[in-house]
Structure 1
Amino acid sequence: MSEVTAGRGFGEGPLSRASALIYTLLVVEGMFLVAAAPGLIALTLLGRDASNVPLAAACALPLGPALSAALYAVRRRSRDLTDLHPAAAFWRGYKANVRGVLKIWVPWLAGLAVIGTNLANFAAAGVPGWWAVLLVLVAVAAMLWVANALVITSLFEFRAVDVARLAAFFLMRFPKATLGNLSLLVVAAGVTMVATELAAAVLASAFAAALLWNSRPMIAEVQEEFTT
């Protein structure tokens, strides 16, 4: 037996770490679905009609705090199979961040609802076609911005205005991370269009893990430059 193997305790090997990650993602997914259930149930009852855009935004209110708690729990997961408490971490993150997240999430949802309503009624507005392209670009930029904002407000304690500024700053600061998040956005949109909103929700913990992975440079810089 090698010295490395001999010095490694139970729950510290590669297989154990992989098992710990899978277990954490499964538990966090379950907690996410519980926390987001009111909004998800309401969303499934809404038809895919243009007039329901504001209602869909209202139904999405619980998703922000739930996703933030998932980010918190996955980030603070233990890599030791013998020391896993993902459910406790999820609810600890939920309670700690719910107010801060809603300060970001609610205005973002309101803005997205306005954009969605305008696009849904674009033909009746009588405005040039390029205006629709501009609205779509603004919506995509807003989604990328809120992804950064959720990561920052879930892992750090900043005022909402500072979170907003940092989230916008890091969009251009780390273009590779932004492109990675754009890919996640495309996948989530594709899953929702092909299946249902619930299909994307079932993958929420995996998306949270991928978002954290893409955000590593941003998280490191926030820790080094903006925290003591």
Structure 2
Amino acid sequence: MTSDRSAARDPGDGVLGRGTGSIYWFLVVGLLLVLTTLPGTLPLMLLDRSTSNIPLVALCLVPAGPALSAGLFAMRDRYRAESLTPMASFLRGYRLNVVEVLKLWVPGLAVLTIIGITLANLEYAGVPGGYGVVLVVLAVLFSVWALNGLVITSFFALRTRDVARLAVYYMARTPLVALGLLAMLVVAAGIVYFTFDVVLLLVSPILVWLLLRTCDAMVSHVEANFIARGGS
């Protein structure tokens, strides 16, 4: 009886304990997101918002891919970890996924850079205005595809070409996920455009958590249909 009462009084078992643990997890993941993206965010904040800097912006965003993947890994681990270990979860996710994420992230940034430069110089190219609309649609579709691929890579050990195919497949298989990702891209762009880049960093753990929740259906379907038992 005594042991049961002491267990009931365990601070981690109560609402306050769980809430405090969640806040701690978010704060640590947020700090690690800032630290791992620092090599890119510092020069990014010094750049003018000029179309001529589009290639430099893409270069500054390279560290964001592995950091975002590690953040997703750590946020998902929060529901499975037996103790408060957000740093260990983040670092493990970073170590496991950094190479595979960059295989998708860097080419993705390169394609979006080409589209961005083309759009910025559309008036000098002498092409119909409708061509710009097509490029915007392509950029949106490619961004959603890249996020799908990043999420899949963050949780499952698959070949890059298989991830690329699954990312396309789930754009049609889970359209609500695709719409959610599009909404998140709009929110992130709005934060950067109307405030400062640093504000996006401050809310990054919340955005990562929302990204995880948005992709729940896709992740569950991948796990149930394409992953053997014992996979990550």
In structure 1, the partner of 2:12 is 11
Check if 1:227 corresponds to 2:227: yes
Q: Tell me which amino acid in the other structure corresponds to 1:94.
A: Y
Q: Do the aligned partners of 1:145 and 1:171 also contact (CA within 8 Å) in 2?
A: yes
Q: Tell me which amino acid in the other structure corresponds to 1:55.
A: L
In structure 1, the partner of 2:201 is 201
Tell me, in whole angstroms, the C-alpha distance in 2 between the residues paired with 1:177 and 1:36. Answer: 26
In structure 1, the partner of 2:142 is 142
In structure 1, the partner of 2:105 is 105
Tell me, in whole angstroms, the C-alpha distance in 2 between the residues paired with 1:156 and 1:150. Answer: 10
Tell me, in whole angstroms, the C-alpha distance in 2 between the residues paired with 1:106 and 1:123. Answer: 28
Residue 7 of structure 1 deviates from its aligned partner by 7.0
Residue 6 of structure 1 deviates from its aligned partner by 8.9
Residue 183 of structure 1 deviates from its aligned partner by 1.3
Residue 65 of structure 1 deviates from its aligned partner by 0.5
Tell me, in whole angstroms, the C-alpha distance in 2 between the residues paired with 1:226 and 1:115. Answer: 32
Q: Tell me which amino acid in the other structure corresponds to 1:40.
A: T
In structure 2, the partner of 1:32 is 33
With 148-157 and 175-184 compared, the bigger mean Cα shift is at 175-184
Q: Do the aligned partners of 1:149 and 1:167 also contact (CA within 8 Å) in 2?
A: yes
In structure 2, the partner of 1:115 is 115
Q: Do the aligned partners of 1:21 and 1:79 also contact (CA within 8 Å) in 2?
A: no
- Please state whether the residue corresponding to 1:210 is helix, strand or coil: helix
Residue 132 of structure 1 deviates from its aligned partner by 0.6
- Please state whether the residue corresponding to 1:131 is helix, strand or coil: helix
In structure 1, the partner of 2:155 is 155
With 29-38 and 17-26 compared, the bigger mean Cα shift is at 17-26
Q: TM-score, normalised by structure 1?
A: 0.93
Q: Which runs of 4+ in 1 moved over 3 A?
A: 5-10
Tell me, in whole angstroms, the C-alpha distance in 2 between the residues paired with 1:212 and 1:13. Answer: 25
- Please state whether the residue corresponding to 1:183 is helix, strand or coil: helix
Tell me, in whole angstroms, the C-alpha distance in 1 between the residues paired with 2:224 and 2:207. Answer: 25
In structure 2, the partner of 1:129 is 129
With 193-202 and 116-125 compared, the bigger mean Cα shift is at 193-202
Tell me, in whole angstroms, the C-alpha distance in 1 between the residues paired with 2:15 and 2:134. Answer: 47
Tell me, in whole angstroms, the C-alpha distance in 1 between the residues paired with 2:79 and 2:13. Answer: 10
Residue 78 of structure 1 deviates from its aligned partner by 4.7
Q: Deviations over 1:68-100 (max 9, x none)?
A: 1100111111577x8101011111111110000
In structure 2, the partner of 1:63 is 64
Q: Do the aligned partners of 1:119 and 1:132 also contact (CA within 8 Å) in 2?
A: yes
Gaps of 5+ in 1: none
Tell me, in whole angstroms, the C-alpha distance in 2 between the residues paired with 1:15 and 1:143. Answer: 39
- Please state whether the residue corresponding to 2:158 is helix, strand or coil: coil
Count of matched residue pairs: 224
Tell me, in whole angstroms, the C-alpha distance in 2 between the residues paired with 1:46 and 1:10. Answer: 47
Q: Tell me which amino acid in the other structure corresponds to 2:209.
A: A
Q: Tell me which amino acid in the other structure corresponds to 1:54.
A: P
Residue 19 of structure 1 deviates from its aligned partner by 2.4
Q: How does 1:163-178 map to 2 (within 5 A)?
A: 163-178=163-178
Gaps of 5+ in 2: none
Q: Deviations over 1:95-136 (max 9, x none)?
A: 110000000000000000000000111111111111111111
Residue 171 of structure 1 deviates from its aligned partner by 1.1
In structure 1, the partner of 2:210 is 210
Q: Deviations over 1:168-202 (max 9, x none)?
A: 11111111121111111111010010012222122
